[in-house]
Amino acid sequence: MSVAAPHSFETVSSGLPPVRPNRQAPARDPAFAARVFWLSLALVLLWPLGVATEFRLWVLWEPENRKVTANFLRSFWPLVDNAEFMHMVVRETWRTVAMATAGVTLALVLAVPLSLLATRVLSLSALSGRMDRWPAVLRWCVRATLIVLRSIPELIWALVFVRVVGLGPTAGVLAIALTYGGMLGKVYAEILESGESHATQTLMRNGSGRLQAFVYALLPSHAAELASYTVYRWECAIRSSVVLGFVGAGGLGQQLDNSMKMFNGGEVATLLLVFIALVALADRLSAWLRKALA
């Protein structure tokens, strides 16, 4: 009868697994060669892009450029905070927020019906597995319209509408409405098609209309995601409305453009600080709304 080794008896009696000798760690990362290859490939592909854009970061550190930058930043102080200027800033800030909100509202009026027409899940003819010819053509035309709307930047739309309706926030509202209408419509359609569609198809097979199927089946399961993206786009619209001011759409952007043309660094710095605070406030508000609607 054999006698167990002392260490084996202790291991069994204590209920612990047997101790195995430590294996030596590999001296070299097994994925090192693959990482080096992909990093080298990325550098080779990105190098022509840097050459094409004439990207030379070291130019910023040349003595003459550093001097110009220092003089420009030095002109920001002291800030302009007199009563007349601050009253104008408050008025233009409110106009900027109003422009963004009105633009997104009009974008929703445009995006919601287009997204419903572009959603395959809500097609009655697609229940059999293949969409009929004319509904498919209509869906393709709607998606092409959304592509055109979002492919043209809001800055270009603003330049067009400034010539049509003149200087002022109206041009900015219309520009945001068209570009963001295309963005919202495209993303809404993708969100609605990405989820579970069994309940929606069941309602339509039992005689429900497309709008009823959307309201009672499709919308409840995607409401949080749709609301989150809408609030995010409203935040982006506030930033866009400032940029549109440089082409005469009013708001903080137009006042910032005027101050820069007059080389008034104090006014520029004050407007930039107000704009940063406005974007930060919009970011906090959108985060709170997304959390509340989640």
Q: Is residue 248 within 8 Å of residue 254, measured between CB atoms? A: yes
pLDDT tens-digit series, residues 140-155: 898 899 999 989 988 8
- In single-letter form, the type of residue at position 78 comes to P
- pLDDT on residue 105: 94
Alpha-carbon gap, residue 65 to 286, rounded angstroms: 39
Task: Provide the 3-class DSSP secondary structure of residue 193.
Answer: helix
Q: What is the mean pLDDT of residues 22-30?
A: 63
- pLDDT on residue 1: 46
User: Would residue 94 count as lying in a domain?
Assistant: yes
pLDDT tens-digit series, residues 208-231: 777 777 778 788 888 888 888 888
Lowest-confidence pick of 9-13, 14-18, 20-24, 35-39: 9-13
pLDDT at 173 over 70: yes
User: Would residue 251 count as lying in a domain?
Assistant: yes
pLDDT tens-digit series, residues 49-101: 878 887 777 787 888 888 888 888 888 888 888 888 888 888 888 988 899 99
pLDDT tens-digit series, residues 233-285: 888 888 888 888 888 777 888 888 888 888 888 888 888 898 888 888 877 87
Residue 124's pLDDT band, with cuts at 50, 70 and 90, is low
User: Would residue 277 count as lying in a domain?
Assistant: yes
Percent pLDDT > 70 in the chain is: 84
Q: What is the mean pLDDT of residues 2-18?
A: 50
Residue 8's pLDDT band, with cuts at 50, 70 and 90, is very low
Alpha helices in the chain (DSSP H): 6-14, 32-52, 63-74, 83-118, 133-151, 154-165, 169-194, 198-205, 210-213, 219-244, 252-261, 265-293
More confident site: 117 or 286: 117
Domain of residue 91, residue span: 83-293
- pLDDT on residue 125: 60
Residue 129's pLDDT band, with cuts at 50, 70 and 90, is low
Lowest-confidence pick of 16-20, 107-111, 206-210: 16-20
- pLDDT on residue 10: 47
Alpha-carbon gap, residue 73 to 45, rounded angstroms: 36
Residue whose entry in the numeric block shows the structure tokens 């550098």: 43
Q: Is residue 106 within 8 Å of residue 177, measured between CB atoms? A: yes
User: Would residue 197 count as lying in a domain?
Assistant: yes
User: Would residue 70 count as lying in a domain?
Assistant: no
- pLDDT on residue 21: 55
User: Would residue 44 count as lying in a domain?
Assistant: no
Residue 119's pLDDT band, with cuts at 50, 70 and 90, is confident
User: Would residue 65 count as lying in a domain?
Assistant: no
As for how many domains the chain has, the answer is 1
- Residue 167 sits in a domain whose CATH number is 1.10.3720.10
Q: Is residue 257 within 8 Å of residue 245, measured between CB atoms? A: yes
Residue whose entry in the numeric block shows the structure tokens 């997304």: 290
pLDDT at 19 over 60: no
More confident site: 288 or 16: 288
Q: What is the mean pLDDT of residues 167-181?
A: 90
- In single-letter form, the type of residue at position 183 comes to M
pLDDT at 117 over 90: no
User: Would residue 161 count as lying in a domain?
Assistant: yes
Bond into 78 cis (ω within 30): yes
- pLDDT on residue 282: 78
pLDDT at 20 over 70: no
- pLDDT on residue 106: 94
